[in-house]
Amino acid sequence: MLKGLTKDEVQQRIQEGKINALEVKITRSYKDIFKSNVFTFFNLMNVILFVLIVMVKSYRNGLFFLTIIANTCVGIFQEIRSKRVLDRLAIITMNKIEVLRDEERIILPIDQLVLDDVVIIKAGMQVPSDAMILDGKLEVNESLLTGESVPQLKTINQELFSGSVVTSGEATCQIIHVGKDNYSSKIIQEAKKFKGITSDLKKSIDSILKIISIIIIPLGSLLFANQYFMLHFTLKEAVVKTVAALIGMIPEGLVFLTSVALAISVIRLAQKKTLVQDLYCVETLARVDTLCLDKTGTLTEGKMKVIESFKIEDINLDEIMGNYCSIFPDGNATSLALSASYKTFNNYTCVDKLDFSSDRKYSAITFEKEGTYCLGAAQFLFPQQNEIIEIAQKYASQGFRVIFLGKSEKGIINNQISDAIPLAYMLIRDQIRPTAKATIEYFYKQDVTCKIISGDDPATVSNIAKSVGVKDTDNYVDASQYTDEELSKLILERTIFGRVTPYQKKLFVESLQKAGHVVAMTGDGVNDVPALKKANASIAMASGSDAAKNASNIVLLDSDFSSLPSVVNEGRRVINNIRSASSMFLIKTAFSVVLSILTVLLSQAYPFQPIQLTVIGIFSIGVPTFLLQFEPNFQRVDGKFLRVAFRNAIPSAMAIVFGILLGMILHSFFNIPANMVSTFNAIQTGIIYTFTLYMVYSPLTKYRLVVIVSMQILLAFAFVFGANFLGLTSLTPEIIITIFIYSIISIGLVKGFKVIFESIIKSLGY
């Protein structure tokens, strides 16, 4: 009898460092968070610009640096807050295992295993550390290590590699390697970070920053040379105007707002018992248009009940099933339902057994003197017996899972049963989740197509799907009857798929993606892992297998499918609001770049001071977009991020540029003083920003109106009472009238430029 390690032996190994210490981290360390938020390229650029402002002693124009400090501090604070929430939630989903110590079975986290520990490994688990089988046998999928997806049978004295996924069986094993000596850390980490998230938001922002980083130094140099050498401004004036232009080009607020918005979303979802394992998957969920659902654990509760049983031959069904269930007492929902329905017997002696697997669709046991019995799906046990298959299909169409008991004379050969005859069958029914129908209705209202993909009989799946409101349930597909090429086409046309293998689930996801769909996949079993790894967004249940949780972007900690609408809504809220906010931030970037080029080409003074852009940015961009970020916005995300963002930004930026050119004309041809032109530029820029806020955030809600009006009142107060500080001056009646007239004209310009911009975009094929 195995006793396991003693307490003293465990302590000795811990002292020797022979512990399965994992280096996997779901979140970054505090040091990494601090470094990533402080030591950025754009922080460096702003520090340089601030130093230049300090050197020329124009301190008021260094106010922009307070915004940079605030952005950095808030970014650090939000990420630390998010880290603490996620770290606490991660404990809930931390992989644990049954360990034999001092002749007692206890449950421990896998990072507390030590060398030579005796552990019990079952179907659905990921092997936590290299181990040797002492008793029992397992089928394991070593594809994470070898790329070979065919399950391998492992028996006594054979080695298990950490990271392998157990597809069936149960075995008592001894740990032979720990920590850095095995594959655990790498494999589990790769399972958690199996793919990079395809984030249009992240790629778009990175593209903007990349372009700006390329042009900012040469354009800044030309601008300074123009102001200092061509226009003969003092060093102080030239530096201030150059810094103003460069500050305007940097959309540091957009980067900050995106990080904060995503971090807040992670915290919000955590409060709804949802663990987000990848920040940008929140955005990916906003773009999902196809949701692939596994019936078990999603539409149903994962609990089953035997409703009725029928004998085909004259057998002692209770005794056979009682002995069968004593060998397989635990496992999937079907075996649990059978164990609960038949009294346990122990009068048969097991000499060989074949565990159930999702590929094989049956299990088998050879009893001494009694022969070999098998239990599973009719199509796989009796493929040539049409009458039996018809019985299965009849009850499956009524929503039952039909489990057949058969007997084989040849027994288990090469992990297969080839000559089974039917003895009896049991009707088992899934318990449907009460919230499933409302959840399905939600996704249809959101224009998300639902595909039900299951390993069960397609008629059974169809019946259950129909009862919860899934559309097009009659034309179901038996995946075992079609080639890969045929299934790749059918997944685009049909809704219900049964008898689906793990490989085929992955094939379905790939086929949908090739057709241009953004696919989310839910699952809780080992057979869902290949598809979860391939999907754009993957969602696992906390009650599911370790492998499924490790392979998913999101884990539903309450294992409740009805949580998905709130997850999708959160993703849509984030991306829609950030997209609106980005339009406001990119106005400043666009007009700053264009004005910088124009001032160099026309040999004109740059029309703004840094302090003016800082104040306009605070009240017209930063504060309102931050406050409006929390507003519900659950519309489906359409189109590309940059196209939508620039659709609003470019027209307003061009209207501001035209206003600046008008100011240059007033200065050059009508001898309007430079400080008065500067005031004209600041006011007309603020007005265009105000109009753009109304345009971007239309239709106006009460909350939106309050935020926008409040910010514009504060901006007006800043212009009036902080005029000297901002470098503004009083205006003549003629200039006031000009501002009023151009304000009206600018509205038409913005709308006109928007039409032109849209036409150009369409002609380019975007």
- Catalytically active residues are 294
What gap in Å lies between CA 54 and CA 149, rounded to an integer? 63
Q: Is the peptide bond before 699 cis (omega within 30 degrees of 0)?
A: yes
Q: Angle, nearest 10°, between helix axes 564-602 and 641-669?
A: 30
Bridge partners, residue 106, by sequence: 99
DSSP conformational letter for 59:
G
Tell which residue, 344, 337, 369, 364, has the closest CA to residue 352. Answer: 364
CA 497 to chain centre: 25
- For β-strands 371-376 and 400-408, DSSP reports them as antiparallel
Phi, psi of 592 (to 5 degrees): -65, -40
Residue with tokens 């990420």: 79
Hey, which residues does 166 pair with through a beta bridge?
140
Residue type (1 letter), 58: S
Q: Tell me if 142 sits within 8 A of 121, measured CB to CB.
A: no
The candidate with the shortest Cα–Cα distance to 761, out of 593, 651, 647, 641, is: 647
**How does 471-506 read in b/e, with b if 16+ C-beta sit within 10 Å?**
eebeebbbbbebeeeebbebbeebbbbbbbbbebbb
The residues near 293 (Cβ < 8 Å, ≥ 6 apart) are 299, 450, 451, 452, 453, 522, 561
Q: Which two tokens stand for residue 182?
A: 């095995």
- In sequence order, the 6+-apart residues with CB closer than 8 A to the CB of 36 are 28
Q: How far apart are CA 442 and CA 536, in angstroms?
A: 20
Smallest CA-to-CA distance from 520 within 285, 694, 719 is with 285
DSSP secondary structure string for all residues of 163-227? T-EEEEEEEEEEE---GGGSSHHHHHHHHHT-S----HHHHHHHHHHHHHHHHHHHHHHHHHHII
